[in-house]
Amino acid sequence: MDQAGIIRDLLSWLETHLDQPLSLDNVAAKAGYSKWHLQRMFKDVTNNAIGAYIRARRLSKAAVALRLTSRPILDIALQYRFDSQQTFTRAFKKQFAQTPALYRRSEDWHSFGICPPIRLGAFILPQAEFLSLPEKHLIGVTQSYSCTLEQITTYRNEMREHFWRQYIGEDTTLPPLLYGLHHSRPSQEKDDEQEVMYTTAIEPSHLTDNISEGQEIVLNEGEYALFRFKGSPEGLQEFILTLYGTCLPMLKLIRRKGQDIERFHTQRKVMGPTSPTELECDYLIPIRR
């Protein structure tokens, strides 16, 4: 019996059902084993108790919702199967060492308390490089869009390409570096959405007659964690989610106020009418250690 394969499939299923009833009876029925056997197998393979793991992942998902949306705390608590705000607050404080309200209001985003999803099998953790950047001036255009947390992956991929085509144009010669800057905040119109501000920018020395000038963008000096990505456009957003959901918590880093920076190393001469099949990107997150 391939216990690791069984638990790997179960972990994947759990991750997409954290807002559903997940009693041991339900989970055991899904896995096709008795509760006793499933608990023992899960513990042997992951070194975690299944009930504690589910609760820790639910609280981690709730923490993201607290930071990125303005949904009422009670709504978030109920979504992740806590029977009251008081029960949720007690559990949240135990895992994050502060109340949900304080966690939401904090200027910095502490990764302490976030429980990364367990990954079995082949998985290479992105490696961080730490660097201090001086103040840098760019030229670009800032646009915004709103989406729910569930829509982040598809929306950001679509908006990224859409905004670049608007700013660069299809037939313009590409500079060696393209900058994408973004940060988000809870939407002021819908409490279950976040508003994402995305800036397409280039260095002033790379301006041409075919690129609309835009406004001056100032990147403030500070410390960053840099992660290198090479892969498909669709894979980039999964990579970013891995950085926030796994890398920052494992490195015990604090995300300070500021913009995430995407530095794209251009792989072709012009944007062209078709989407690129591969991206090479340095992804920088403003941090405090």
Q: pTM of the predicted model, to two decimals?
A: 0.92
- Asked if residue 122 belongs to a domain, the reply is no
Residue 120 lies in a domain: no
Any domain includes 118: no
Average pLDDT over residues 199-225: 87
Segment 262-275 mean pLDDT: 87
Task: Output the pLDDT for position 193.
Answer: 93
CATH classification at residue 198: 3.20.80.10
Do residues 240 and 141 share a domain? yes
Mean pLDDT of 74-93: 97
CA angle 261-265-268, nearest 5°?
Answer: 140
Q: What is the pLDDT of residues 221-255, one digit of tens each?
A: 999 999 999 999 989 999 999 999 999 999 999 99
Between residues 133 and 212, which one has the greater pLDDT?
A: 133
Residues 279 and 183 in one domain: yes
Tell me the pLDDT band of 274, cut-offs 50, 70 and 90.
confident
Is residue 115 in some structural domain? no
pLDDT value at position 219? 92
Q: Is residue 17 part of a domain?
A: yes
| pLDDT tens per residue across span 119-158 | 987 788 999 999 999 999 999 999 999 999 888 888 888 8
211 in the same domain as 86: no
Task: Please tell me the predicted confidence (pLDDT) of residue 271.
Answer: 83
Average of per-residue pLDDT values in the chain: 92
Q: Which long-range contacts (CB under 8 A, 24 or more apart) does 144-147 make?
A: 144/195, 144/196, 144/197, 144/198, 145/195, 145/196, 145/198, 146/187, 146/189, 146/190, 146/193, 146/194, 146/195, 146/196, 147/193, 147/194, 147/196
Looking at residues 199-226, what average pLDDT do you find? 87
Shared-domain flag, residues 99 and 133: no
- Whether the per-residue pLDDT at 56 is higher than 80: the answer is yes
pLDDT at 209: 67
Of residues 169 and 280, the one with the higher pLDDT is 280
For the chain, the domain total comes to 2
Domain around 248: 129-288
Q: Is the same domain home to 167 and 102?
A: no
CA angle 242, 246, 247 (to 5 degrees): 90
- Does residue 36 share a domain with residue 148? no
Over 114-161, what HEC string results?
CCCCCCCCCCCCCCCEEEEECCEEEEEEEEEEEEEHHHHHHHHHHHHH
- Polymer length in residues for the chain: 289
11 shares a domain with 154: no
Tens of pLDDT, residue by residue over 156-191, are 888 998 998 888 877 778 889 999 999 898 998 999
Q: What is the pLDDT of residue 212?
A: 64
Domain of residue 86, CATH code: 1.10.10.60
79 with 178, same domain: the answer is no
Q: CA 211, 215, 220 angle in degrees (round to 5)? A: 120
Whether residue 139 is contained in a domain is answered as: yes
Same domain? 92 vs 170: no
